[in-house]
Structure 1
Amino acid sequence: PERAIDGNRASNLGQRSYTNIARGGNVIQSSLYEKEVPERAIDGNRASNLGQGSCSVTNNNFKPWWRLDLLKPYQINTVTITNRGDCCPERINGAEIRIGNSLNDNGNDNPRCAVISFMAAGTSQTFVCNGMEGRYVNIVIPGRREFLTLCEVEVTGQALGNTAPTDTNIARGGHVIQSSLYEEEVPERAIDGNRASNLGQGSCSVTNNNFKPWWRLDLLKTYQINTVTITNRGDCCPERINGAEIRIGNSLNDNGNDNPRCAVISFMAAGTSQTFVCNGMEGRYVNIVIPGRREFLTLCEVEVTGQALGNTAPTADSHIQSSIKYTDCLFFGGKFGQINTYTNIARGGNVIQSSLYEKEVPERAIDGNRASNLGQRSCSVTNNNFKPWWRLDLLKTYQINTVTITNRGDCCPERINGAEIRIGNSLNDNGNDNPRCAVILFMAAGTSQTFVCNGMEGRYVNIVIPGRQEFLTLCEVEVTGQALGNTAPTGDLYHLTWNVIQGGNVIQSSLYEKEVPERAIDGNRASNLGQRSCSVTNNNFKPWWRLDLLKTYQINTVTITNRGDCCPERINGAEIRIGNSLNDNGNDNPRCAVILFMAAGTSQTFDCNGMEGRYVNIVIPGRREFLTLCEVEVTGQALGNTGPIGDLYHLT
């Protein structure tokens, strides 16, 4: 009978499912230490002492590896690794998780999900791979001789072409409540395990037509939430769900609707199911809420995947206290006055480089200016040396989320090819021996590219070109992360690094003097009005600025730079709206974010989770104000295009 509640919708009698899809795979490793065979890493046992017979171990080889063959391609959500507990936990440091369909270099050439910077003895750590596709999952320690010991490897994901999730739906065990009850459409219907989407089938929850209707799931303890999947009503009025927000956290302020936001549902077709990736956001409560209007909230199924944490008690204002690690929680849904900044932590550090070309000092790479022509005096350059390097000292240890690099624009962009980003606390080889976050494969002239480092820990961030003689030119290096012991986010996380608005048209509600709307997309983050890089409207009621992308995009992020020389508070309360409608000049489109607060001259990134639209509006509703925008940057992909917009990018 247990098979009827195993969370698996497989409908053929012979089908079996494992939450941990590694258990059904085949494994191999680069060599065998005594009898510690590779199968021990997928035996379902996290015992971490070698004598317990549950760990795989290679010999002490150069570049040891272990490979899992899942037998068919999957979209991989997470990889969880358990480290050895009785000895030498540091051996795992620098190991990489690689996922793909290639067996080049035994699978070690596949795209990288994460780098294991550090794991304490006997602990398990989960890495979020965001749906990377592949048949093979490799764990490899590059660049040194080492034993590779894995006491357990667990993998979650879904087979390509298979709509049945292989992660457990943790919503099924929770308690639910909603803001009001329409007839007999109780909130429990949204977690009954049935995606039937016609109201008459008795499987959808519905609220009354209220202002700001909401539905809340109580998971009974705190989880790291990977995904939330929602099924929309199929027989009528699918547009009612548009603009609904998914919020996750431990607070019951405003019935849980003040918790951090995972995603905005911009559009769902009738009867369809859509999955939103929440990247390990922590919380006991999952809310679905439609803010800002009167509406029926109808949910025909809500499915949630994630891992339980040890903390079960909700806190009064834990949406401020909780640790924010990933991009989908880029601002807090609280009241005005809460401070929420996303700082480029490179700006406060010290820098040094291997040599100095003329007067192009290393400090130029952290001056806050992405100007990319050498004559603009904003790029650092080394001499043409063997293995040139540049090092940032953050002065204390951080968990690094992202490193963004701007390449030279007026000449020789290929010089950056092959450069490595290394992060850690060691000064061995001037810091170039620290674990590697990423390799820069290619960057077009004058572009900026963001590399995700998945919380690698370190005081030092090095950029180094190994193995050849070269000039190292860096026109800007930006770093985001959080200091160890600090739960407030100090950085933001980009998904794609191409600014899609470079080809767009702009207009604004009025023109202050000569501060035209085009200045907000000139590629320059200069924030003093006298630098002629900011757009400004007159002091009007509900001022707005609109970008026309000329075709419909799925929008990942919108980054805004605030004025620096005066009156930064003017931006407070501005909304980012995205869609295809020109009703109210585009200001009626679904909302991605509200700008609660921005310090003078800073840039802040808002994650829009693939909201679809041709138009991106910035509007200040409800009051008279000047709207000043010193730069607006947008990333995303055109609908129907599976590749990134622009040049090659690198996601780790």
Structure 2
Amino acid sequence: MVDALNIVITDGRCMQQTTESYNVHPWWKVDLEANHCLGRITLVNRGDDRNERLNGAVVRAGIHNDIFNNAACGLPVTRDQASIPGAHLQIVCDPPVIARYVSVDDDFHVNGEWDNLLTLCEVMVEEYPMEDCLQTTEKNLLIFLFGILVWFYPLSCLCLDLTALDLHGMQASQISDYENSKFSAASRAVDGNLNTSYADGSCSNTGYNAHPWWKVDLEANHCLGRITLVNRGDAGNERLNGAVVRAGIHNDIFNNAACGLPVTRDQASIPGAHLQIVCDPPVIARYVSVDDDFHVNGEWDNLLTLCEVMVEEYPMEDCLQTTIAMIVNPSVSITCLSTLMFVDKEITNARPLSVVHMKSPMQCFMRCKMNNECWSFDYVMTSGQCRLYDVKAGDLKADDQPDCLVYAVVRG
């Protein structure tokens, strides 16, 4: 609803389908009538009863009238979020998204076929000024690569091809092994064996856990574009319903962002299916993981079984189009970028133009782009500190600093 704020449905201020209109996949949509640069969308949940129906709801934003062609903002509403009557649930679009349509949809596999009404007491949308968000024209395409901002000019950069990573022998781990048996070890999911029969010893399998997880260490950072899960083919394949694939630089998997959306019930219903999860945009990652919250499958059936995990990457040099040498060596020709980056560095050879606090590297980048004197900035992931500098790429000096990112901005 977009009328006035009230969280009691009997007052007639909340949108809900009639009891005759239960749907397998209910949805709601608003047309903003023009493109906007959206940063945050807030859902106001029902406050009198049935607030739990919002569990699993997905917020989407994009330019397409068909909502299922638009990407999701953030992750779906969790059971804990939906459990609070009248809650204001903030969904952050990070990076911001250009959108005319905002929608909310919910797959019945989360809430059950006979309780799948979508109720919204208010939807609130917040935007960035378009000129500040983009600082560009239609000829430019802004891509956010896990904290790495790259400004491409169409046709000036090569298209990239995915190649498979060889995961055999890489260190895999999981929350527990089923019945403490090596037969179900985490390494079974990266042994190169695509057999989908658990009985043949080719699948990993956790014990019963409230939130089971599996993880592999790629031993170095890679630019990941696609992750494929091979589901069990003999029995129990439906347990993969709701599984989330994450990729990132953190050993603690829950500090890494999700790639794509969770596995759906329809996907998990196919025995032995190869489920492709696309990381769009690509993500810089050393760790790939899969986890599943028990509220989807039930506390007593929450095993995580993986018969194989396959990872595909873009060449790092093509994905980033840069190395640290490009930043410190001014003789290197830069034709495709507006931003170059150090990881775990801080600028040490200049006083900042200003110091502010921002919620993400994207917001720090936009603040720099708005300041014509700013040529570089550093951003501390843990505190949100954003320092702007007038130091150009060729003059930049940086020292080690954990959880800090340094960017050199190329203008013009």
Q: TM-score, normalised by structure 1?
A: 0.29
Task: For CA contacts below 8 A with separation 6 or more, give which structure has more relative contact order.
Answer: 2
Larger radius of gyration: 1
Higher helix fraction (1 or 2): 2
Task: With the length of structure 2 as denominator, give the TM-score of the two structures.
Answer: 0.43
